[in-house]
Every structure is written in C-alpha cells, then in structure tokens.
Amino acid sequence: MKRRMRKILEKITEGILFSSSTVTSLAVLLIILFLFREGLGIFTSTSVDRNNVLAVHSLNPVNELTTQQIGGIFNRDILYWDEVGGTHDSIILFTINEIGNYYNEEELGTDFEFLPQKIDELISHQPNMIAYFPNLYLAGNFHGKVLPHNKIGISEFFAGKSWYPTSEPAAQFGILTLILGTLWVTLGAILIALPIGLVTAIYIGEVAHPRMRSFFKPLIELLAGIPSVVYGFFGLVIIVPMIQKTFNLAVGETALAGSIVLAIMALPVIITIAEDAIRTTPVSLREASLALGASHWQTIIRVILPYSRSGIIAAFILGIGRAIGETMAVLMVTGNAAMIPTTFLEPVRTIPATIAAELGEAPYGGTHFKALFALGIILFIITFAFNTMVEFIRPRKSK
Amino acid sequence: MKPGKRLSQFIVFNLFGLISYLIVVILFIILGFIFIRGFSVISWSFLSAMPAEGMTGGGILPAIIGTGCLVVGSILFAFPVGVLSGIYMNEYLKENWFKKFIRMMTNNLAGIPSIVFGLFGMALFVNQLKFGDSILAGSLTLGLMVLPVIIRTTEESLKAVDTSLREGSYALGASKLYTIRRVVLPIAFPNIITGLILSVSRVSGETAPILFTVAAYFLPKLPSGIFDQVMALPYHLYVLTTSGTNIEESRPMAYGTALVLIVIVLIVNMIANAIRRSYRKKLKLR
C-alpha cells in the first residue's frame, strides 16, 4: 500500500516537472498567437476610419483615392484634381468642423437634425469639393459619390514611406522608414562591435594570461548587466552632446549615437559567445600546429579561428539580434524622426522605439494599435529566425 | 621564429590587448560617471521620500518599492517553474527530438526582444485576462522573460553534479525522486541560486516589458495589492530623462535613480560571483 502511494507520488511529481518544462514552449506559442491575432488585423483595416466617409460630387470622374493621395490632398500637397486622375480644377476641402462657414446654426437645426441634408446640398453645389465627415451625417438620399474605404495593402504597409499613424482623414502606415531606420542603426552598431568584439574574444580566450581572463570575465558580465535605460541615459548625457559638438550638428540625437550605444550593449554578447567558441578548440589541434613550427599568431588565424568559425558566426548573429530588438536605449538617443536616413548624422526612428513610444497613446483595438502589433510581428520573426539559425549553426559543446 | 615575425606578433597581440582594455575603460567611464554625478544626490530622504515638486525634488521611494514588488512577483512565478523545468530537462528527458524542441523554444524565448514581451503581456495579461495595468500582469511578463535564464542555470548546475553520486544513491536503493531531492539538489542548489540572483538584476533593470503592463508615470502612493499599478526604477529614470515636466531640474534625480539601479546590478553580480566561486571550490574538493 505504502509502496503504491509512493509510486503515485512519483508519477504526480513527474507530471508537475513535465508541465513546467512545457511552459517556455507554451509561452512562445502564445506570443505568436497573440501577436498575430492583434497584428494581422492591420491588413483588414482601412486607413480612413470606418466611422467616417469621404465623398465627392457625383459627376467627379475620380472613383477611388489611395491613402497617399488622400494624405496629399488634405496636406495641400495635391491641389488639383488632375493630379489624382480628375479634371484640371482646384480641390476644395471640406471637413465637418467647417460646416459653420457655410451654414448658420439655425439652418442646421438645434440638434443638427438638418446637417445631413445640408452636407448633401453643399456637395451637390460644389463639383470640386472633397468632403470628410462622420457616417452619421450621411443623408439617406445622398446625391454625391462616397469613395470606397480602401484596405491597407501589404505593399502599402511595407513599402510606404510615410508613417503618420494619427493623421486625419487618412492615417499613413508605411513602415519602410522604420525598417530602414532599424537596419541603419543596427548596421552601424555591428560595424563597430564586430571587430572590437572578435579581437577582444581572441585576446581573452587565447592571448591573455588565465589570471587576466578571470579579471575580464566578470567585468564583461557586468557590462551585460547594466540596464538598457542606464545606457540610454549615459548616451543622452555624454555621447549625444559629444556627437553634436564633434560634427557641429543642430541636434546630437542621431543614428550614430544609437549605433555607438548599441555597439557597447552588443559587445558582451559577442565577446562571451565568441570566446566560448575559441576556447572549445581541442588542445591537440593547437599543439599540433605549434609543433609544426607555426607561431602563436599563425595558429590563431589558421587553426583556431577556422575551427571555431561556427561559434563566432553564432556570436555575430546573436549580437545583431540583440541590437535589432533593443528598445529603450535607442529610443532615448536616436531622435525618433520618421524619415529615411541618408547619413549616420541624421535622426532615425527604429521599429522597437516606435512601439515603445506610441503604444501608450494608440486606442485599444484601433488601426494604429494593430499596426504597432504588426511591427511586433516583424521584430519577432527577425529575432526568431536569427535564434533558430544559431541553433543549427552553433556546435554542441563537446567535453 | 624569425625576429620580424615575432615583432609583428608582438605588435598585434598588444594591439588586441589595448582594444580589450578599452572596453574595460568604457565600463569604468559609465560606472564612474554615474557614481560621481549620482553620489551627492543619494541620501536617506532620497531613498525614503515620495517624489515632489513635479519630480524635481523629493525621493524615489515608490519606484524602489515598485521594483521590489516586480522582482518578488516575477521570481515567485519564474523560479519554481524554471527549476522544475530544468530538473525535468536534465534528470528525466533523454536526448531526443522533444528535448531538442524544448531547448530550442527556451533559447528562442531568451532571444525575443523585451518590447515584444511588452506587447504580449499587454495583449494577454492586461487585456485578455483583464488583469489591467497591475503588478500581476507586469510580474508575469517579466517572469516569462527571465524563465530561460533560470532554466539554463538549473540545467548546468545539475549537469555539474557527478554521476557517481547518483549511482551511489541508486545502489543504496533510493528512488529517482529521492535521489534528486536528497543527493542532487542539495549539491546543485547554491549554483541554481546564481540563476535566481541574475534574474533579480535583469528584472530590476528592464523597462520595455513593463511600459504597458504595470509602470505608472507618477503615482505618489504605495501599492496595496497585486492589482495595483506601481512606479518602477528603470521607467522612472526614463521618465525623468525624457518626458518629465522639467527635464533640466530633474537631472539630479535622474543621476540618483541611475546610481541606485547600477548599485543593485553591482551588488547582485558580486553575490552571484561569490557564490559561484565558493561553489567551484567545493566541487573541486570532492
């Protein structure tokens, strides 16, 4: 009896242990599920809010406007109808706030009960007008032409250059600038961190005295442990003013500042993993090389580095992954201007920084909210791909 | 070796050394800078008072308490789950596809950017499970984030325990569970604790995951339950540097907050290293 109880107890314990071990996999699956559930909605959303309509005169030859065109028209970048496929007439804008310019309160009624009729009348009399107003005020017998709500297309999302998520009437969700901003900052960070990281890994793993090694290791761990806000703070009060002074810029918050801070943050990852790889080179290989008369330096270049190649590549990939996903430090030092960068001395805006800066203000479940989750999906896919790649590249520790 | 070759090797190695020391110099510049600027701000009242005068005066007590709550909450979740998971991975599972899959997922979880954890925490804990912006939602999000660290250290600590000890226990008729409980775990435990300690440092420094799950911009009262919002040190530093009402005048507060964060990380790292060192000695003595 007692024995049986113990058997059952063992089984129960094993069950608990098993379920604990599935938590990480479950978490990854849930992350995928929730990101996609919230984020994919962006492609079924419309850039013009569904509660509002855009309408033109019934004889206007324009039947459809893209998000960019709507944005251009309401920014006054596009002034004539022929620029969007219509006649050569100047565009007259109308939004609901301007109704007072056309009709007085009496004509609209005390509860705005005549408002739909008046809007209809206004559009009928103005062949070159484009009107933006709530659905609510669309008259039952509307004589104008209501433009269709376009869904946000995949190419519009990925290749669009303007990110104005809150502009009215058409919010612009082009993430190309954000993607380029992220790549730009990451590229800069990697260009700085890779050579320095590799050289340091070689020095600590191969050249330095073992006692020096135990001096370096904890310090590099400490560098990895410093919170990213502290890096951001340091970057903001030291690196940003330094860049501003050195290059004589109006603002020091630039891609370069982001790259430098990210490089410092990616270094511990690169050094630790590359050094591990270098140290797993079998002693027999090293000694054989030295016995053949090769110098220490030749042994490093010709034997040790080629042997630990895959580990070093893994270190690079993980370093890049760290840099791409880093949020707070980048948010604090890069200036966050959503424009396509042409040099390292301009402000840029990265994907993680955009999410961190805007999610708080995006209404829950709205198009902007979904767009930010879609950005999260992109980040997730990139880092997931990198990590999975590393799983296959990185050799098992052989001891 | 030819003298020329020897000379060039000498130069290259010294150059490498120089670059390596440069990294150490950068580390000391960051630490020194924050210590020097922050030291004069730190006082008992800075640590024990509420923020005042639009966050240009007063102290950071609610942020310290908030971070404390998040550390405790996330560890309460992540430590048991992580240790149990590590035990199962190392003691029960054989090297098969399932173990490889779990290990891959754990590594992937470790590589997911912190802001994605923030998005996820907001979608699942805050909105789906209706926890709202709360210590509970924030702790679970942070807990998931540090779970891989704890699993990895547990696995490695268990791996370091000699097989002969296990076999000795089995030979005496002990069951597997008994062996793990009475033989393996007591030896591995100090090392497992280092994983916990490193998680404390990670949790107290992360900002992105708590932005949308728990952190409050300004909340001059202490939390009274797990469904309350709290201020947190890293987010407070972010607010003070970028979006406070008076950024110039709240600069000293920012230096002080940064120093408190750095000191936490330093202390935690030192403890972890001390444990590791004494543990290594103990293993060697056996």
How many Å lie between the alpha carbon of B65 and the closest alpha carbon of chain A?
A: 18
Say yes or no: A386 contacts chain B, CB-CB below 8 A. Answer: yes
Residue in B closest to A206 by C-alpha: B13
**Is A354 a residue whose pLDDT tops 90?**
yes
User: Are B116 and A359 in contact (CB < 8 Å)?
Assistant: no
Closest CA to B167 of B147, B184, B146: B184
Residue in B closest to A12 by C-alpha: B177
CA torsion sign for A312, A315, A321, A322 is negative
Instruction: Say what the pLDDT of residue B255 is.
Output: 93
How many Å lie between the alpha carbon of A352 and the closest alpha carbon of chain B?
A: 6
- Among A97-111, A293-307, A348-362, the range scoring the smallest mean pLDDT is A97-111
pLDDT in tens, A65-109: 888 888 888 888 888 888 888 788 888 888 888 887 888 877 877
Residues of B in contact with A271 (CB under 8 A): 23
Residue in A closest to B10 by C-alpha: A297
Residues of A in contact with B82 (CB under 8 A): 20
User: Are A27 and B144 in contact (CB < 8 Å)?
Assistant: yes
Say yes or no: A232 contacts chain B, CB-CB below 8 A. Answer: yes
- Rounded to whole angstroms, the Cα distance separating A155 from A161 reads 11
Instruction: Say what the pLDDT of residue A398 is.
Output: 45
Residues of A in contact with B122 (CB under 8 A): 359
Q: Token pair for residue A182?
A: 């992220």
- Rounded to whole angstroms, the Cα distance separating B151 from B80 reads 10
CA torsion sign for A157, A158, A159, A164 is positive
Residues of A in contact with B269 (CB under 8 A): 218, 221-222, 225
User: Are B108 and A386 in contact (CB < 8 Å)?
Assistant: no
Say yes or no: B19 contacts chain A, CB-CB below 8 A. Answer: yes
User: Are A226 and B89 in contact (CB < 8 Å)?
Assistant: no
List the single best residue of A7, A11, A21, A204 to mutate versus B (max B Cβ within 10 A).
A21
pLDDT in tens, B176-224: 888 998 889 988 888 898 888 889 999 999 999 999 998 888 887 888 8
Mean pLDDT, residues B113-122 taken together: 95
**Is A399 a residue whose pLDDT tops 50?**
no
Q: Token pair for residue A21?
A: 């071990």
Instruction: Say what the pLDDT of residue A191 is.
Output: 94
Residue in B closest to A208 by C-alpha: B17
User: Are A196 and B19 in contact (CB < 8 Å)?
Assistant: yes
- DSSP-derived letter for residue A348 is B
- Rounded to whole angstroms, the Cα distance separating B260 from A112 reads 59
**Is A169 a residue whose pLDDT tops 90?**
no
- Among A149-158, A245-254, A287-296, the range scoring the smallest mean pLDDT is A149-158
- Rounded to whole angstroms, the Cα distance separating A11 from A9 reads 5
SS (H, E, C) B124-175: HHHHHCCCCCCHHHHHHHHHHHHHHHHHHHHHHHHHCCCHHHHHHHHHCCCC
DSSP secondary structure string for all residues of A109-143: -TTSTTHHHHHHHHHHH-TTEEEEEEGGG--TT--
Instruction: Say what the pLDDT of residue B26 is.
Output: 94
**Is B286 a residue whose pLDDT tops 70?**
no
Instruction: Please identify among residues 46-75 of chain B the ones whose CB lies closer than 8 Å to any CB of chain A.
Output: none
Closest CA to B196 of B104, B80, B101, B281: B80
List the single best residue of B21, B23, B109 to mutate versus A (max A Cβ within 10 A).
B23
Say yes or no: A27 contacts chain B, CB-CB below 8 A. Answer: yes
- Rounded to whole angstroms, the Cα distance separating B283 from B286 reads 6
- Rounded to whole angstroms, the Cα distance separating A42 from A48 reads 12
User: Are A200 and B19 in contact (CB < 8 Å)?
Assistant: yes
User: Are A321 and B111 in contact (CB < 8 Å)?
Assistant: yes
Mean pLDDT, residues A179-201 taken together: 94
Q: At what angle do helices B135-159 and A23-39 cross, to 10 degrees?
A: 140
Residue in A closest to B141 by C-alpha: A27
**Is A217 a residue whose pLDDT tops 60?**
yes
How many Å lie between the alpha carbon of B234 and the closest alpha carbon of chain A?
A: 6
ipTM exceeding 0.85, yes/no: yes
Mean pLDDT, residues A306-330 taken together: 91
Domain over A52-148 is classified CATH 3.40.190.10: yes
Instruction: Say what the pLDDT of residue A89 is.
Output: 83
User: Are A17 and B118 in contact (CB < 8 Å)?
Assistant: no
Neighbour tally for A135: CB within 10 Å: 11
User: Are A21 and B175 in contact (CB < 8 Å)?
Assistant: no
pLDDT in tens, B229-262: 999 999 999 998 887 667 778 888 899 999 999 9
Say yes or no: B119 contacts chain A, CB-CB below 8 A. Answer: yes
Instruction: Please identify among residues 20-49 of chain B the ones whose CB lies closer than 8 Å to any CB of chain A.
Output: 20, 22-24, 26-27, 30, 33-34
Q: Considering just the CA atoms, what is the radius of gyration of chain B in Å? A: 23
> How remote is the C-alpha of A312 from its chain's centroid?
26
Mean pLDDT, residues A328-342 taken together: 87
Instruction: Say what the pLDDT of residue B284 is.
Output: 64
Domain boundaries, chain A: 52-148, 176-393
- Among A122-136, A197-211, A293-307, B200-214, the range scoring the smallest mean pLDDT is A122-136
- Among A12-26, A101-115, A230-244, A334-348, the range scoring the smallest mean pLDDT is A101-115
List the single best residue of B8, B24, B119, B213 to mutate versus A (max A Cβ within 10 A).
B119
Average model confidence (pLDDT) for chain B?
A: 89
Beta bridge partners, B51, equal B58
> May I ask the CATH architecture of the domain A176-393?
Orthogonal Bundle (1.10)
- Rounded to whole angstroms, the Cα distance separating A179 from A340 reads 9
Of the pLDDT bands very low, low, confident and very high (cuts 50, 70, 90), residue A396 is low
Say yes or no: B80 contacts chain A, CB-CB below 8 A. Answer: yes
Selected residue with higher pLDDT from A3 and B192? B192
Q: Which domains does chain B have, with CATH numbers?
A: 44-285 (1.10.3720.10)
Instruction: Say what the pLDDT of residue B245 is.
Output: 66
Mean pLDDT, residues A265-290 taken together: 92
Residue of B88, B235, B258 with shortest CB distance to A233? B258
Neighbour tally for A365: CB within 10 Å: 11
